[in-house]
């Protein structure tokens, strides 16, 4: 059902907020969120910005990559989900409304090496809490002096 204003004209679709640029460790799940109001008869698509590859239209995934899915929530929100993210997923993704003129927003994903992420966390923790050591599973262990 679409909203119609007092003049009988359907309001133009518009984005609610912006898509955040995000960083995820390799192997984890990445999410980009696109929110649209007044969508009416228009459709929302997700594309890979670098080569304009269409990944999904509305809630329907059109790529053959089974790690990619779209979650459609509360009639206004579309989340692009990439499971087991890898270096090749790094880049920018476009949320597009097929209005005339076309409207788009871009959000970028950076992929962090999972081992680098663990090392960084360990370094930060032991740097600021020198009486603790981190075990092999990154659990803090108190070290008496």
> CATH no. for residue 42?
2.60.40.10
Give the residue ranges of the chain where pLDDT is below 50: 1-2, 118-119, 122-126, 131-132, 134-135, 145
User: What does the pLDDT read at residue 10?
Assistant: 82
β-bridge pairing 132-134 and 140-142: antiparallel
Note whether residue 144 is domain-resident.
Answer: yes
Same domain (yes/no): 29, 83: yes
Same domain (yes/no): 55, 108: yes
User: What does the pLDDT read at residue 14?
Assistant: 96
Its pTM stands at 0.74
Same domain (yes/no): 53, 119: no
Query: pLDDT tens across 74-104, in order?
Result: 889 999 999 999 999 999 999 999 999 999 9
Count how many domains the chain has: 2
What is the DSSP-derived secondary structure letter of residue 29? -
Domain that holds residue 68: 14-112
Q: What's the token pair of residue 47?
A: 């594309």
User: What does the pLDDT read at residue 113?
Assistant: 82
Provide the Cα torsion 3, 16, 56, 39; round to 10°: 10
φ, ψ dihedrals at 12, nearest 5°? -70, 145
């Amino acid at each position: 059902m679409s909203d119609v204003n007092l003049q009988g004209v359907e309001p133009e679709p518009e984005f609610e907020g912006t898509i955040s640029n995000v960083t995820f460790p390799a192997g984890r799940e990445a999410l980009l969120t696109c929110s649209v109001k007044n969508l009416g008869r228009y459709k929302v698509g997700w594309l890979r910005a670098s080569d304009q590859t269409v990944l999904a239209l509305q809630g329907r995934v059109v790529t053959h990559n089974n790690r990619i899915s779209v979650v459609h929530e509360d009639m206004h929100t579309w989340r692009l989900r990439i499971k087991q993210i890898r270096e090749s997923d790094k880049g920018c993704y476009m949320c597009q409304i097929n209005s005339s003129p076309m409207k788009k927003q871009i959000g970028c994903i950076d992929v962090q090496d999972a081992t680098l992420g663990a090392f960084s966390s360990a370094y930060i923790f032991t740097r600021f809490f020198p009486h603790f050591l981190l075990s092999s599973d990154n659990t803090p262990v108190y070290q008496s002096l």
